[in-house]
Structure 1
Amino acid sequence: MVNQRRSDQQGFVFFKCRNDAGDSSNISWSPFIIFLVATGKTWRLIKEYYQSGDIVIGGIISHIFISSDEMTFERHLHQEPIDDVIRFSARWTYLASLELLSTRGKFIPNYKCDAQTIPVAVIGGPGSDVGLTMTSILHSYKIPLLIYGYPLTPNNHILSMFPNGAVQYKMMLQLLLHFNWTWIGVISPDDEQAEWVAQVMVPVFSQSGICVEFIEILPQVTFSSNLAEGIAEGAEKYSIIMRSTTNVVVIHGEFETMILLRMLLHYSEFADASIKTKIWIMTAAMDFISASFQRDWGVDFMQSAISFALHSKEPVGFHRFLQKTNPNSDQDGFVRDFWQQAFNCLLSDSLGDGSIEEDCTGEEKLETLPMSVFEMSMTGHSYSIYNAAHAVAHTLQAMPFSEFKHRARTERGRLKLADQKLYQLHHFMRRVSFNNNCGEEIRFNSESQILAGFDIINWVTFENQSFLRNKVGKVDPKATPDRMLTIYEDAIVWPGRFNKARPPSLCNERCPSGYSRRKKEGKPFCCYDCLPCPEGKISNQRDVDDCSQCPEDHYPNKDKDLCIPKYTSFLSYEEPLGISLAIVAVSFSFITAWILGMFLKHRDTPIVKANNRNLTYTLLISLLLSFLGVFLFIGQPGKVTCLLQQTIFGIIFSVAVSCVLAKTIIVVLAFMATKPGSRMRNWVQKPLASSIVFSASSVQITSCIVWLITSPPFPDFDMHSMTEEIILKCNEGSVSMFYCVLGYMGFLAIVSFSVAFLARKLPDSFNEAKFITFSMLLFCSVWLCFIPTYLSTKGKSMVAVEIFSIIASTGGLLGCIFFPKCYIIVLRPQLNKREQLIRRAN
């Protein structure tokens, strides 16, 4: 089997399988090739190896392109029968197909005087158009067909040596996702496949998150087309491709697409567009093929390209066979024509057109040719032909032992098939299974497609027009879907433009952790802006559509890419704020206790006895308890402390304010009782003060009892008020009851302030009204400021605000009411006499 790729010609191939042993029960198949080469319109058999009784396998194989008729200029230019430069025209395929059905050496379609030369099967390719064209003729004669090019629509009458094409595109999609290439360009030749690319392939890719920046259709360049227009169109497409932001371009095409692509890139170098290195992703139907005029072109554009390739393995002895091949020892005319074109020389017995001056020696070595002209390894397409020929041979060998075998007879030791049974060959071939000489299993699936995988090739180019097919992965259709594609990324050689690292191919930079994506209006969905995560949310991956909420007991870090556990927080004695408030409360408690002790010591003095001594003691005890009650608010909240905090605070303050109110009323009544004929003296002498304190406090005590019964306060966690803290606090239980307690206390304070304000001008020696007025003014101011401040703070600051308000208001009462008296008792004892008080009152 020869490597069928580098010939600038096309024709059909006969594979001949001969049984040299003469034993029909144990056939040893030795396939070899007879080429029929196109020379103008005449097809001739270069060398016959045929012997009577041989089994013939036909082949219609495209070798890049052919020359057409010379132009006679007898008709208008567009009417001349000039074929495409690249595409193997249907006319030649039809001609080759009909030649197979004609008597050898004569072109008489549908007539064969030698039935033994009817091919038992025909191998065709590599272009899908070749397969379609030959099928339309040969299928009518029930000749089994094996197509090794791009797969046709599954057909039970055709065996495809090309694996399932759908698998290839699924794996191409997986390859793009593996490398995170979501922003690509697509190139397709101008044929029926271009519509499939736009309507099927691109939407499927989009559903998986891959956007297409552009879809460019390669122009068809023919001798009959305007070459200048073709080059201009190609230059425009070249500029679009080079100006694109994507670094990855998927090329959908077949073997001739490589020639078109090379022409596009070669002639567009003169266009006004900078050259950017692109990562070309190519399908397995493509291969590296050069036309004659491209033999001296560079192959740098292929650097780091990644292509799917038909799986291939080199048969034993193939490389040695190529080394021994020369035009003198091989009588096949194809080799002689190929030799002259490959080495650009002329054999001694060949006729040239004068353009070639150098003679061929016949001793040239194929390995000295650049790989862009000839490769010494077996390519995927050649391997497919190799397997196709062996599939036919193994099927023929197995058929005589099948219960469905056709009748066969031997003639002079050679196998001869009954013509009327040849169509059964396809049926048996679909079920054939064998190991080829490379040790690989060959068999077909239910859709008549070969069960084979693909190789993933990374192209490494060199300055001498050579390149290396670096195998960096494979597609195994027998594996599970998640393991079907294997990539050896460490083996890939990336372009120097990307510092030999994996190149990115995104519409824009990926959103880092701590950000989420937002689609750009008017742009494909792969293009987006990056927005920081909102408060309380994070993203610990790149390119997330939405940030995720941290758990309640966690909070985002500064970069918003990690949730950090919150720490518990409460106003403790171990922090400066808690210690400071505790020290202040203790200090005021000692001061209050000292004042109470001093008043008890001087209880018989006029200043202490004035204005109801018992109310004074009650007020001082209430103020002392208020200062001590601060310690219920400091430290970790517990069930008992939460029950006592607000209720004790409300009751004690109510008692204190009630005492102030009672003292104010007593002052007013006492002043009124000094008037002649006044009845107020009786009221002053009755236990009025105790009644006022008891009745006013009873209302607050009742409210607190109802609060504790219906919805008592309890220890609680506040995970939302502070970003980094879990606040341990006392939940009021019933907020309405809490504000009722505060409201009632404020009501008593306002009443006390109003009464004291009215009595503020009474003689100083008789009453405390002026001092009570100042104390209640301070008290009301503190608690009026408390409410908005309390509601606007969070966490332990709320507790600190309440403690400060308690200390400030209690200290205000203590200072305004008792410090003047303490001043007289301690520093001016001479004034603490009844005579002085009466004289000052008069």
Structure 2
Amino acid sequence: MYHVPVACCNDDLLNLDLNGILVPGDILIGVVIPIHIASLSSMVTFQESPSPDICIMFLIEFYQHFQALRFAVEEINKNPVLLPNRTMGFYVYDSCAALRREIEGTLWMLTGQSQAIPNYCCRKHPPLAAIIGHSKSTYSILMAHILGLFKFPQISYYSTSSLLSDRTRFPSFFRTVPSDSFQFKGLAKLVLHFKWTWVGLIATNDDYGNEAIKIITQEIVKEEACVAYTVYITYNPVSETITNIVNIIKESSANVVIAISVDVYLAPLLDEMIKQNVTGKNFVASEAWSISNLLSAAKYSPILFGTIGFAFQSSKIPGLQEYLNSINPFNTPGLTWAQMLWEESFNCTFSVLTNQTMVMNNLKNTCSGEESLGGIHNGYNDVSTLRTSYNIYTAVHVIAKALHDLSQCQFLNGPLFGEKCSQIEHFKPYQLLYYFKNVHLKLSNNRDIFFDKDGNPPAVYDIVNWQSGLHDTMKQVKVGSYDTLNSSVDVFILNTSLLWWGEVYQEAPLSVCSQSCQVGFKKLVKRGKHMCCFQCVPCTQAEISNQTDSIECWKCPWDMWPNSARDKCFPKPIEFLSYEDPLGFSLAATIAFSCIVPISIFYLFIQYKSTPIVRANNYYVSCILLVSLWFCFLCALAFIGYPQPEKCLLRQAAFGLIFALCVSCILAKTIIVVFAFMATKPGSSLKKWTTPRVPYMIITICTLAQFILCLIWLSVSPPFQQYNIEAKLGIIVVECNENSQFAFWCMLGYLGVLASVSFTVAFLARRLPDNFNEAKLITFSMLAFLSVWVYFIPASLSAQGKYIVSMEIFAILISSWALVACMFFPKCFIILFRPDKNSRENLMGNRRRK
């Protein structure tokens, strides 16, 4: 194995310092990762070639990433199923997280020479399959422009910018970390999950922060939550600016703050919050600082205790820890890096110092190389929460699976229709790119890995909660996950028993501009304020709201009514004049008793039909009148009980016909009395109208007219059953609608005409001799009849519901009783109690006295 790359044109070993290594294989992959995180650059004079950058800050956590890469490659090379009979090798270049070195390392791998030459590659064998990198989204964007021109596969383990999802600009870019757009949407959903509708937003003033603000705001507003304020921070903030930002946070009623930033940008803001003693604000962290060691310091604990946020998914890699602890500083690719690890881990130095930081510390302990990494626990061999290392491990397996699929290519089923399949040793980048797009594999954590149309993997994040750790520091505890592959109901998996919100809040903090409106109320947004700042207004009398924070109240169905809390609709009580109702029962009992009276009188008339007083008043017409009066009382029962459609159709018509028959009988009796008296005068022409057929003709004609009127009414505009919800608030009045008020009043008016004619004729005949004095009784009966129905008109117009029906029943009973009392009680009194007057001599005597 070599510590410098091999130039493929002439197989010369070219010196590239100690910044890159090559592990040979049948197929190579290029890896550009930072082992250091800082570099020293010389001044550019433009008079000579600039000297290479010098990396100065070695991180053992980043060295773990490199070993995870080696472990994945060796695991694949040992797999007899995946790429059998072929080995994978790799280039690794230490970029120091510097743009110049990222470009330099990528072009070095592409050209196959120590000098980075754009658009040039003389390497023929072994082929370079893909490049893993780069460390930042900005660097990945730059290299994706170059690699995309040649459709050369690029897979990033750390770049999250959503700009890289643009396939027209970056057709060959893939990644094993989710796009930021997934994270920002997830953070918004996390906020809404805890019902935080009033939040503050803090973001860095760059593409990362601006995109976050845009997406989070859109998602929050879409769910009718609000952003209380939006502020931007920079790496070198002016003290006055930081103070103003903290004042905004302090004075706002929003208790939840979403912070989209890296830790070094956020630290000055937190320092100012500590200075101003700002507490009671709960932070929501983006993945850029959710597991920050810098901010886990004890001094930030009063502010950051209870913070909840997203972190890249952590997973286990079986066998990795044993592999990490088996490293030896003398027989490992990248010896210089391995010796740096030793110096950092065991606080010693080799005879030739390799770590610049150790030079400054001037340590004298000598490293033997026999020390055991298994005896210590540090950021290198800590595999409890593998995130970046697992993403690199995944990237290597994705490349291997794509190569394996390429090796299994079948004719006419490859990337180009009609072309022969390429050999695995001689393939074009675009051919492998085809298999990248269609790769699908399952790793040790049982997660399916594949790419969507934009080159993004399924988005999965850990949800971490900042809790108390050792020595007043903070630790990040995994309390759940956010998985976009789950159903919409189970996107969040949270173990609420593990959540800890700090000393200020014993449970999830409340962050709202206005308290929730309870059921029975609706939100009314205050003028000039956010939609989350509202007042609660009770629903009107006929409306309900059955959920909290309702923006409107809903009317109950026509047959329902709100309860007292106005959160439910219940059926409206139905009102009609029923037999169970005390009023209905009383009227029914009165009707039953009243029906007995005309039947009893009828029976009495039959018993005394041969007596003069019965015969003198036209026995048969009186019988018809008594039967019609019995029907008058009986028809009142049709107005009691549930108004069925058939009952509604016939009851008014029956009432009109029966009363027409009744009043026609009285009219016939009145006219016959007058005709009989007038016919006794000599030469009277009315004698021919005193025949027995005349009263029956009058009854028939008068009743027939009412029958025709009712028939027209029922044919043209028949009455019907009606549910009246306007008569009484909150009550359904079941009633009969006459449909045509005109027809109803015509029918009633016709009765009035008959009664008026009878009254007039009887009044004019009131002074006839006593044996014909029935005219007086008719006068009184018609006067009572007319009085009752004249009173009924205004009374019915002022009554509502069942009381209208009660008024009509009352009018029927009173008018019927008036007819019975005035027409028959005097006769019954004579028949029963003064039989001496029920004689022909008495009647004739009266006539002589007159």
Report if TM-score (shorter chain) is over 0.5: yes
Q: What residue identity is the alignment partner of 1:190?
A: N
Kept after mapping to 2: 8 A contact 1:571/1:799: yes
Select 1:276's aligned residue among 245, 259, 280: 280
**1:35-74 residue pairs with structure 2 within 5 A?**
35=36, 37-38=38-39, 43-44=53-54, 56-60=91-95, 62=97
Question: In the alignment, which residue of structure 2 is the partner of 1:196?
Answer: 211
Kept after mapping to 2: 8 A contact 1:122/1:144: yes
The alignment partner of 1:162 has SS state of coil
* Structure 2 gaps, min length 5: 1-16, 43-51, 67-87, 331-335, 348-354, 364-370, 410-420
Question: In the alignment, which residue of structure 1 is the partner of 2:46?
Answer: none
The structure-2 alpha-carbon separation of the partners of 1:33 and 1:197, relative to structure 1 and needing over 3 Å to count, comes to closer
By how many angstroms is 1:641 displaced?
5.7
Kept after mapping to 2: 8 A contact 1:174/1:485: no
Question: In the alignment, which residue of structure 2 is the partner of 1:297?
Answer: 299
The structure-2 alpha-carbon separation of the partners of 1:134 and 1:214, relative to structure 1 and needing over 3 Å to count, comes to farther
* Structure 1 gaps, min length 5: 1-11, 63-91, 341-345, 357-361, 409-419
| 1:150 correspondence with 2:160 | yes
Question: In the alignment, which residue of structure 1 is the partner of 2:749?
Answer: 743
Question: In the alignment, which residue of structure 2 is the partner of 1:82?
Answer: none
By how many angstroms is 1:213 displaced?
2.6
**1:275-674 residue pairs with structure 2 within 5 A?**
275-278=279-282, 280-291=283-294, 295-316=297-318, 332-333=339-340, 351=360, 377-388=384-395, 447-449=454-456, 451-462=457-468, 464-477=472-485, 482=488, 485-488=491-494, 490-491=496-497, 493=499, 495=501, 508-510=514-516, 512=518, 522-524=528-530, 541-542=547-548, 561=567, 573=579, 575-598=581-604, 615-634=621-640, 645-664=651-670
Q: What residue identity is the alignment partner of 1:260?
A: Y
By how many angstroms is 1:439 displaced?
7.5
The structure-2 alpha-carbon separation of the partners of 1:503 and 1:735, relative to structure 1 and needing over 3 Å to count, comes to farther
Q: What residue identity is the alignment partner of 1:217?
A: V
Question: In the alignment, which residue of structure 2 is the partner of 1:18?
Answer: 23
The alignment partner of 2:164 has SS state of coil
Question: In the alignment, which residue of structure 1 is the partner of 2:816?
Answer: 810
Kept after mapping to 2: 8 A contact 1:131/1:147: no
Question: What is the alpha-carbon distance in structure 1 between the residues aligned to residue 18 and residue 291 of structure 2?
Answer: 22
The structure-2 alpha-carbon separation of the partners of 1:534 and 1:639, relative to structure 1 and needing over 3 Å to count, comes to same
Kept after mapping to 2: 8 A contact 1:147/1:159: no
| 1:187 correspondence with 2:202 | yes
By how many angstroms is 1:834 displaced?
3.6
The structure-2 alpha-carbon separation of the partners of 1:800 and 1:14, relative to structure 1 and needing over 3 Å to count, comes to farther
Question: What is the alpha-carbon distance in structure 2 between the residues aligned to residue 17 and residue 488 of structure 1?
Answer: 44
| 1:243 correspondence with 2:253 | yes
The structure-2 alpha-carbon separation of the partners of 1:665 and 1:525, relative to structure 1 and needing over 3 Å to count, comes to farther
Question: What is the alpha-carbon distance in structure 1 between the residues aligned to residue 327 and residue 302 of structure 2?
Answer: 30
Kept after mapping to 1: 8 A contact 2:31/2:133: no
Question: What is the alpha-carbon distance in structure 1 between the residues aligned to residue 585 and residue 620 of structure 2?
Answer: 34
By how many angstroms is 1:639 displaced?
8.1
Q: TM-score normalised to the size of structure 2?
A: 0.68
By how many angstroms is 1:461 displaced?
0.8
Question: What is the alpha-carbon distance in structure 1 between the residues aligned to residue 468 and residue 713 of structure 2?
Answer: 90
By how many angstroms is 1:530 displaced?
6.0
CA offsets, 1:757-785, max 9 Å, x none? 66778899974566545533432343344
The structure-2 alpha-carbon separation of the partners of 1:270 and 1:605, relative to structure 1 and needing over 3 Å to count, comes to farther
Question: In the alignment, which residue of structure 2 is the partner of 1:67?
Answer: none
Question: What is the alpha-carbon distance in structure 2 between the residues aligned to residue 170 and residue 199 of structure 1?
Answer: 10
Question: In the alignment, which residue of structure 2 is the partner of 1:211?
Answer: 225
By how many angstroms is 1:564 displaced?
5.2
By how many angstroms is 1:807 displaced?
1.0
Q: What residue identity is the alignment partner of 1:128?
A: S
C-alpha RMSD over aligned residues? 5.9
By how many angstroms is 1:425 displaced?
9.2
Select 1:220's aligned residue among 221, 226, 234: 234
Question: What is the alpha-carbon distance in structure 2 between the residues aligned to residue 288 and residue 818 of structure 1?
Answer: 107
Kept after mapping to 1: 8 A contact 2:177/2:459: no
The structure-2 alpha-carbon separation of the partners of 1:309 and 1:671, relative to structure 1 and needing over 3 Å to count, comes to same
| 1:128 correspondence with 2:129 | no
Question: In the alignment, which residue of structure 2 is the partner of 1:6?
Answer: none
The structure-2 alpha-carbon separation of the partners of 1:339 and 1:531, relative to structure 1 and needing over 3 Å to count, comes to farther
CA offsets, 1:64-101, max 9 Å, x none? xxxxxxxxxxxxxxxxxxxxxxxxxxxx5346755887
Question: In the alignment, which residue of structure 2 is the partner of 1:93?
Answer: 99
Question: In the alignment, which residue of structure 2 is the partner of 1:231?
Answer: 242
Q: What residue identity is the alignment partner of 1:156?
A: P
Question: What is the alpha-carbon distance in structure 1 between the residues aligned to residue 830 and residue 204 of structure 2?
Answer: 111
By how many angstroms is 1:475 displaced?
1.2
The structure-2 alpha-carbon separation of the partners of 1:364 and 1:762, relative to structure 1 and needing over 3 Å to count, comes to farther
The alignment partner of 1:630 has SS state of helix
Question: What is the alpha-carbon distance in structure 2 between the residues aligned to residue 130 and residue 338 of structure 1?
Answer: 31
Select 2:265's aligned residue among 234, 257, 260: 260
Question: What is the alpha-carbon distance in structure 2 between the residues aligned to residue 441 and residue 633 of structure 1?
Answer: 76
The alignment partner of 1:297 has SS state of helix
Aligned length: 746
Kept after mapping to 2: 8 A contact 1:57/1:123: no
Q: What residue identity is the alignment partner of 2:309?
A: S
Kept after mapping to 2: 8 A contact 1:188/1:215: no
Question: What is the alpha-carbon distance in structure 2 between the residues aligned to residue 405 and residue 605 of structure 1?
Answer: 135
Question: What is the alpha-carbon distance in structure 2 between the residues aligned to residue 202 and residue 639 of structure 1?
Answer: 60
